[in-house]
Structure 1
Amino acid sequence: MLDTTILMTRHNFGFGVTFPFCVGIGLLGMALQWQNLHVWLNQKKHRLQLWQLLWTGTGIWLSTVVAFFYFIQAGHDINIKTIRQPVRTILVLGGGTRDCLPRPTLAERLDLAFEWAQRLPDTKIVVSGGLDPDEQCTEAQVMANYLHQHGLPENRLLQEGKSTNTFENLAFSKQVMSEHGISTDDGLLIVTSDFHSVRSRQIALKAGFNNLASAGAETPLSVRYNSWLREYFSFVRGWIVGDY
Structure 2
Amino acid sequence: MIFGIICVGYYFAICCYIRKWDSKFPRIWLALGVVSFLLGWRWERLPEVVTAGLEMAGLIVLLIFAAVELLILSGMKEDKCAGEAEYIIVLGAKVDGYHLTDALKQRLDKALLYLRTHDKTKVIVSGGQGPEEYVTEAQAMAEYLIRCGVEPSRILKEEKSTTTRENLIFSGRIMREDPDTECMARTGIVTNNFHIYRAVCIAKQVGYQNVIALAAPTAPIMFVNYMTREFFGVLKMWAERKKTKVD
What is the TM-score normalised by the length of structure 1? 0.85
What is the aligned partner in structure 2 of residue 118 from structure 1? 116
1:163 partner letter = S
Question: How big is the alpha-carbon RMSD for the aligned residues of Structure 1 and Structure 2?
Answer: 2.2
Could you tell me how far apart the structure 1 residues matched to 2:182 and 2:14 are? 41
Distance of aligned partners of 1:73 and 1:14 in 2 relative to their CA distance in 1, 3 Å threshold: farther
The Cα of 1:74 is off from its aligned counterpart by: 4.8
Distance of aligned partners of 1:74 and 1:199 in 2 relative to their CA distance in 1, 3 Å threshold: closer
What is the aligned partner in structure 2 of residue 5 from structure 1? 12
What is the count of residue pairs matched by the alignment?
232
Secondary structure class of the residue paired with 1:87: coil
The Cα of 1:71 is off from its aligned counterpart by: 4.2
The Cα of 1:59 is off from its aligned counterpart by: 2.2
* Alignment gaps of 5+ in structure 2: 1-7
The Cα of 1:193 is off from its aligned counterpart by: 0.8
The Cα of 1:143 is off from its aligned counterpart by: 0.8
Spell out, residue by residue over 1:115-168, the C-alpha distance to the aligned partner (whole angstroms, 9 max, x if none). 101111111100111113212111111111111111101111111111111101
What is the aligned partner in structure 2 of residue 57 from structure 1? 57
> After alignment, is 19-28 or 153-162 more displaced?
19-28
* Alignment gaps of 5+ in structure 1: 43-47
Runs of 4+ in 1 over 6 A off after TM superposition: none
What is the TM-score normalised by the length of structure 2? 0.84
Secondary structure class of the residue paired with 1:7: helix
What is the aligned partner in structure 2 of residue 168 from structure 1? 166
What is the aligned partner in structure 2 of residue 99 from structure 1? 97
Q: Say whether the 8 Å CA contact 2:176–2:184 is kept in structure 1.
A: no
1:14-93 aligned at under 5 Å gives the runs 14-15=24-25, 17-32=26-41, 34=42, 38-39=44-45, 41-42=46-47, 48-79=48-79, 81-82=81-82, 87-93=85-91
Identity %: 29
Q: Say whether the 8 Å CA contact 1:140–1:160 is kept in structure 2.
A: yes
Secondary structure class of the residue paired with 1:29: helix
